[in-house]
Structure 1
Amino acid sequence: MPTDVAGKTLTVVGVAAHREAAFHRWAEMGLSVHAVVSPETRTESWQHLAAGVTRLNALDTRGLMEAIPVSDGVVTLSEFSVQAVATLAELLSLPGVTTSAANVARNKAHLRRVLRASGLDGDLASAEIRSERDLEAFFAIHGEESYVLKPADSSGSAGVVRVTSFAEAAQRFKAVRRWSFGGDVVIEEYVAGPEYSYEGWVQGSEAVLAAVVRKRTTADFVEIGHTATHAPNAGAWALIRSALRLLGVADGVFHAEVKLSPDGPRIIEIALRPAGGLIPTLVSLTTNVDLYEAQARIAVGAHVFEPVPNGTSAAIAHVVGQPMSHASPETLRAISRLPNVPEVYQAPRLDGDLAPLSGNDARAGYALAHGVGPTVESDARRAARMLADALCIDMTPVT
């Protein structure tokens, strides 16, 4: 591993769940990392790898400026800190995605408006919704088709639902709105077709693609599976590059979700931080690059190496639902002895402690598969079904 960034200081503002791999990679790089997290953030899985941890409101830019140590770079591992970190980077004259890009990407309504104005949204019917009256007006114009109702500023598929009528949309509107920090809801035309995420980075305004990830979701868009591929759709990648240029993204990682509809690729969302759902692990297993390493190198002004696939496949299958039992260590070991399954994980929560099935936080565990050949995804799904059985979760309705 290159040592050209060893000894540099990195501040990470906001750390979501399952991000310990970032801290391990940064430690291997020789970085001195200081984390700034909200008071309720759990840190036990990575705190020993950080030079320091400060607990405060990670959205308070003024407080952050006063609290963070002198740093060579600033990054985030949380969707909700993207804007604060972009602002910090500009104030400190450090590499970053730009505040204007962060402000657009963080709000799904704003992103849809910007894409539409530049002809990059495929003429999808969409509108910002603040009341049932707005919903009624939307359906009066566009008719009762299949639409997606979602909070404008949430993350992790939280509160995202599919509706087919005004009555259904009105019935679910308040529940969706509760997931929005600003009370803003977006309704947009449902896009049919397979869904993928494009993972990579921008450095010096040049976009680089590291991997393409095929996604499986429930009917209400909770993500239950990811498989890394390295065969981008040319139209989708061109569309994403155009969107990144339009947003003015200068330096940073991106996670762009697209669907390949019968009418061509359609952008669903763009996030300016590393993907969740352990997708960075899939990228590092199947290429010579690590998204967390790329993120840190960009932040401290170091060059990021070109990604090269290594010929292997990797997939994660998630278990979602309320566990009614607990998988024993013996069961976990038995599952991990399946072909191509090096890792099985169950969330340390029982007795209704998981979130309702309204977002990715409803995951009760996962199985990771990695190997060569066409069976890797099915190996992950088989292992996840065995874990679900051990947890007494019926995955049939969501798979």
Structure 2
Amino acid sequence: MGHPAPPTLLVVHDQGSAGPLRILSAARGLCRIVFLCEAEHPLLAPELRQIAAHADVVDITGLDEGEVGGLAARLAPDGIVTFSEHRLRLTAAVAARCGLPFHSAETAAALTDKYRQRQALAAGGVQDTGCVLVRHPDESAAALAVTGTPAVLKPRHGAGSVDTCLVGSAAECRDRLAEFTEAEPRKSVQESARESAPEPVREFVLEEYLRGDPALAASGWGDFVSVESLVVDGEPRTVAVTGKPPLVPPFRETGHILPAPLTSATAADVVRLEQRALRALGIRHGVTHTEVKLTADGPRIIEVNGRLGGFIAEIVQRRTGFDMVAAALRLALGLPVTAPEPPAPGPAAGAVAFQYLLIPPAGPVRPGPLSLIETLEEIPGIDLVDVSAPKEPGRGDADGSWRRGTLGAIGVVYGTAPDHAQLAGLLRLLEERMDRFWYGAPDADPAVRSGAA
């Protein structure tokens, strides 16, 4: 008697928090993966070619929502998931067509629309944050009258801090909006952040600036955290509270720290707020990544994301052994998932895992040789330096690279430290070394100093 066929799981694939190889690894022995994606898109094709012999890839290029839904239904899937912000709404539509658990269309809309999400959080009594929709530079003054100054300008739809900045006046807001909505720069900046159905007019939101309170975080840390959760039948289960190094201007993340450098009381407040937000948005199923600002008035929601956060699966697995990609697949198939006990925050946390993104400064720079980055591996506590630098790395404002947000990173440093105090010193050393790289200081290279080069 033959073995029963494994369940079929649809992965609506695009640029996101898990690549095809990582997904197939997590699916081994669990299910058959079928990728629904734009198979020949230049951003996706290289990885898809690597897994062509090991997975089914169904091309959805040029298909509308209804056509993708019909195609998916004919595959008789047992579950559906996406790891891409830009495919959440399409995945919700296909899930509804196939009768599979996922975010509802209404919830997916709130998760991918920053304006609608603020409205939903306010209506749910979670948080009232000043937020105004802006479509034209001439609307800047009226919008700032609602939010006050400074305010945060960001795309209504998007991820990774693309085209996100602080504005302090109507004139500055007008200038930034005009820059962001110019046709050619927008195309180049947004090439990695496609929507399945792009809007004819790119819209932005202007939001009240949530001012961080340094007293709520240890000196030298970022003033925000993220909460990683599994949601089962509407009940959030916390996997981790992840800390951050300080942002690089204007609002670009520079990595993740697990456990977060918070007191247990602050971490508990953060989780309570996050769970209220998930319920207010109607999230009943799947993996979430919620960013929370630490302010003088307590934790405040920055945004809720209805999918696995970027880089989060790696740091959670490295620190706890728990595989969030596999958990996302199991949830999508309706299989039981047990969330681990979150790592204790604060001074008693023990070993601390970290990722440090190599983000170019916002101003013009003159990068040194990549050998300056390669020498980072010599620093105790650094396990891996993964560099994918362009031919002319880190030109800063010379090419507007800050507009690409975290997509502008030229690499990632992975490592561990015995505790938060020693990690703080290690991060300071990394910042100093990278300053020498960005500004082309030759004395940072041991080979140069020794006369060997």
Same fold (TM over 0.5): yes
Deviations 1:108-137 (A, max 9, x none): 00001111223322x332211122343222
Structure 2 residue 129 is the aligned partner of structure 1 residue 124: yes
Query: How much has 1:336 moved relative to structure 2?
Result: 2.8
Query: How much has 1:96 moved relative to structure 2?
Result: 1.1
Partner of 1:397: none
Q: Find the aligned partners of 1:120 and 1:65 in 2 and give their Cα distance.
A: 34
Deviations 1:31-57 (A, max 9, x none): 322222222333434654451223334
Query: Structure 2: which 5+ runs fail to align?
Result: 213-222, 344-349, 442-453
Query: How much has 1:27 moved relative to structure 2?
Result: 4.0
Partner of 2:76: 70
Query: How much has 1:209 moved relative to structure 2?
Result: 0.9
Structure 2 residue 15 is the aligned partner of structure 1 residue 16: yes
Structure 2 residue 437 is the aligned partner of structure 1 residue 366: no
Q: TM-score, normalised by structure 1?
A: 0.86
Partner of 1:297: 330
Partner of 1:152: 156
Structure 2 residue 362 is the aligned partner of structure 1 residue 357: no
Q: Find the aligned partners of 1:66 and 1:326 in 2 and give their Cα distance.
A: 52
Partner of 2:170: 166
Match among 84, 89, 94 for residue 88 of structure 1 = 94
Q: Find the aligned partners of 1:174 and 1:313 in 2 and give their Cα distance.
A: 43
Query: How much has 1:188 moved relative to structure 2?
Result: 1.0
Q: Find the aligned partners of 1:353 and 1:62 in 2 and give their Cα distance.
A: 42
> In proportion to residue count, which structure has more helix?
2
Partner of 2:355: 316
| Greater displacement, 352-361 / 192-201 | 352-361
Query: How much has 1:71 moved relative to structure 2?
Result: 2.3
- The amino acid of 1:379's aligned partner reads L
| Greater displacement, 203-212 / 230-239 | 230-239
TM-aligned CA distance change 1:70 to 1:161, over 3 Å: same
Partner of 1:197: 226
Q: Find the aligned partners of 1:318 and 1:338 in 2 and give their Cα distance.
A: 16
Partner of 1:343: 384
Q: Find the aligned partners of 1:86 and 1:326 in 2 and give their Cα distance.
A: 46
Structure 2 residue 315 is the aligned partner of structure 1 residue 282: yes
Larger Rg: 2
Query: How much has 1:18 moved relative to structure 2?
Result: 6.3
Partner of 2:238: 209
Q: TM-score, normalised by structure 2?
A: 0.76
Deviations 1:194-246 (A, max 9, x none): 11111111011110111111223122111112112265622222121111111
Aligned to 1:81, what secondary structure does the other structure show?
helix
Aligned length: 385
| Greater displacement, 291-300 / 70-79 | 70-79
Deviations 1:146-187 (A, max 9, x none): 100111001110011101111111111123344694322111
Q: Find the aligned partners of 1:335 and 1:363 in 2 and give their Cα distance.
A: 16
Structure 2 residue 206 is the aligned partner of structure 1 residue 187: yes
Provide the aligned C-alpha RMSD in A: 3.0
Query: Structure 1: which 5+ runs fail to align?
Result: 395-399
- The amino acid of 1:80's aligned partner reads H
Query: How much has 1:59 moved relative to structure 2?
Result: 7.8
Q: Find the aligned partners of 1:18 and 1:327 in 2 and give their Cα distance.
A: 26
Q: Find the aligned partners of 2:392 and 2:269 in 1 and give their Cα distance.
A: 46
Q: Find the aligned partners of 1:324 and 1:210 in 2 and give their Cα distance.
A: 38
Match among 235, 254, 263 for residue 224 of structure 1 = 254
Q: Find the aligned partners of 2:124 and 2:70 in 1 and give their Cα distance.
A: 39
Contact 1:150/1:159, CA 8 A, preserved across alignment: yes
Q: Find the aligned partners of 2:381 and 2:29 in 1 and give their Cα distance.
A: 28
